[in-house]
Structure 1
Amino acid sequence: MAVVGKIRKMQVHTEAQSGGSHLAHYQLPVGDEKIDMNALIGRNIEVEHTGDINCVHCDAKTKKSFNQGYCYRCLITLAQCDSCIIKPELCHYSEGTCREPEWGEQNCLSDHFVYLSNTGALKIGITRHVTDGVSSRWIDQGATQALPILRVSERLVSGLVEHAAKAHIADKTNWRTMLKGQPDDLDIQGRAEQVLNAIAPEIEAICAKHGIQAVQPVESDPISINYPVTQYPEKVKSINLDKTPSFSGQLQGIKGQYLLLDGDRVINMRKYAGYRLQVSHD
């Protein structure tokens, strides 16, 4: 069976398991089709890039993809591609310099969550949505544990809190470490208490400026996330579609937005959003 079309990042949801953990499920959008990737674990797949790349926003044909799927024009004009997406503490909206104020109102001026997660090491992050106790962002990052610790009034505030916490905890995932196996469980709740105590003066200052309810504690239990992996790579070998436009092999697992293949090979499918691919399996 072969499906051809422009791909997007894998869509994710979770299924509750016994013991309170959640199993990640993946679908890969290819054109108008969605491939159930969990069903392909243990089977041989073949992927070929046809040579075409289209912007995930405006659909314009582009020779090079930027920021995981955008053409250059969209990269420099869209608010969702601005530097404040990576550094939310630099949000432009209040300064009147947001590229798209209406987009900012819909996506930035709403509640966000600050969380801790275990992606091979403990990290802090922010997310807009936590549905049924789980954020798709945690799955995209390959987190095996996660815990929302604060609910904040807007994206700018979430960035200020995250920036304060970075002096005490990492804010980035080491993707190679994340892909090499199932990490040991951490005392994520205990570490959350330590981090919150350490940044209490900064949170007080943020609330003094942005309102007493700008930062609110969240009462939640840590969640555990499992991934459909039969074998982890011992030495990660990344596939680059721009250099190797086709590959095939046995799909041994999925974690984060990565496919894990035999021969210790991995590929970040999100990186190639907008690429027109032919995806087939036995």
Structure 2
Amino acid sequence: MSTNSLTGHVRKMTSKLIDGQVEYQLPLGEHSLPLNELIGKHLSLTHSGNINCQECGKKTKKSYSQGFCYPCMMKLAKCDMCIMKPETCHFEQGTCREPQWGEANCFVPHYVYLANTTAIKVGITRHTQIPTRWIDQGANQALPIFKVSTRLQSGLVETALAEFISDKTNWRNMLKGKADSIDLKARAEELIPQIEARLADIKLKYGEDAVERLNEEVVEIDFPVMQYPTKISSLSFDKSKKELEKEQDLTEKTLKTVSGTLMGIKGQYLYFDTGVINMRKFTSYEVTATY
């Protein structure tokens, strides 16, 4: 049986939603590996031991903030805590790490949405990341409910809603199966009146047009999964603490391979018959895919 291989540094899996079905590709350096057609077939992913920062290209022993070296992680605005917690944006205080980056990425339309990832949750995303953000979270349904002017404002709306529903995804439950359908429109009608006072405060501070109520349709998302696991076993290119303790001489020649039959893809996870691996966690790792 003939085999093919591609080698390169991992980037976040790219996706397209076509007629409700997600199609995935795995970027490896300059290459891109179509994954849907490999479901049901054997796939091996071997890490060479090399990790190179996706920003500056320098070699790093450890990946920070999903693909950066420590110096870049500390200086880049995209790695600041306010990206995870947009309500803590400090641009107005003049302390943004990269003001031009902030203006281009944070002072653009954002959406506050409800999603179903086995339970209802609230989230935010830039206008350019719809529906990618929902796919990355493994959501089977999503509904944008507000459009706001800036990332900070989206964070303020999100935290208001997070008092009533979760703003986190239970990734283990998400990986175990397809979410039961939720009437997201009905839930939105229940939730929004509960945050009217908070919305009024935001509009008072930032202007009446800072928050726009939307009337969109629910987006349905179907992931390419042959079979969901009943138990989640995580796979990793990183050595466990126990493995590290056993080795006295760690060299760059050490290889770590994740392999098996590819059973499906959901979020940023690959399902093998041997376990699941979060590919986004290993952004900037040099990997050879053999298929």
TM range (shorter): over 0.9
In 2, are the aligned partners of 1:129 and 1:135 still within 8 Å (CA)? no
Aligned partner of 1:141: which letter? Q
Q: Please give the residue correspondences for 1:1-282 in structure 2 after superposition, counting only pairs within 5 Å.
A: 1-16=4-19, 22-129=20-127, 134-243=130-239, 245-263=256-274, 265-281=275-291
Q: Any gaps of 5 or more consecutive residues in structure 1? A: 17-21
In 1, are the aligned partners of 2:236 and 2:258 still within 8 Å (CA)? no
Distance in 2 between the 1:24 and 1:113 partners? 21
Give the aligned partner of residue 243 of structure 2: none
In 2, are the aligned partners of 1:110 and 1:155 still within 8 Å (CA)? yes
In 2, are the aligned partners of 1:119 and 1:178 still within 8 Å (CA)? yes
Greater radius of gyration (CA) = 2
Aligned partner of 2:10: which letter? I
TM-score, normalisation: structure 2: 0.92
Distance in 1 between the 2:190 and 2:56 partners? 45
- Provide the secondary structure at the position in 2 that maps to 1:66: coil
Q: CA deviation at 1:59?
A: 1.1
Q: How many residues align?
A: 273
Distance in 1 between the 2:123 and 2:167 partners? 6
Moved beyond 3 Å, runs of 4+ = none
- Provide the secondary structure at the position in 2 that maps to 1:204: helix
Distance in 2 between the 1:258 and 1:247 partners? 13
Describe the superposition over 1:148-193 as per-residue Cα deviations: whole angstroms up to 9, x where unpaired: 0000010000000001111101001011000000111001111111
% identical aligned pairs: 50
In 1, are the aligned partners of 2:14 and 2:26 still within 8 Å (CA)? yes
- Provide the secondary structure at the position in 2 that maps to 1:229: coil
Describe the superposition over 1:212-236 as per-residue Cα deviations: whole angstroms up to 9, x where unpaired: 0000011101111000000001100
In 2, are the aligned partners of 1:142 and 1:255 still within 8 Å (CA)? yes
Give the aligned partner of residue 19 of structure 1: none
- Provide the secondary structure at the position in 1 that maps to 2:209: coil
Describe the superposition over 1:228-274 as per-residue Cα deviations: whole angstroms up to 9, x where unpaired: 000001100001111282121000000000000103x0000000000
- What's the RMSD between the two structures over aligned residues? 1.0
Q: CA deviation at 1:130?
A: 5.5
In 1, are the aligned partners of 2:13 and 2:279 still within 8 Å (CA)? yes
Q: CA deviation at 1:194?
A: 1.3
- Provide the secondary structure at the position in 1 that maps to 2:221: strand
Distance in 2 between the 1:277 and 1:65 partners? 14
Q: CA deviation at 1:129?
A: 2.3
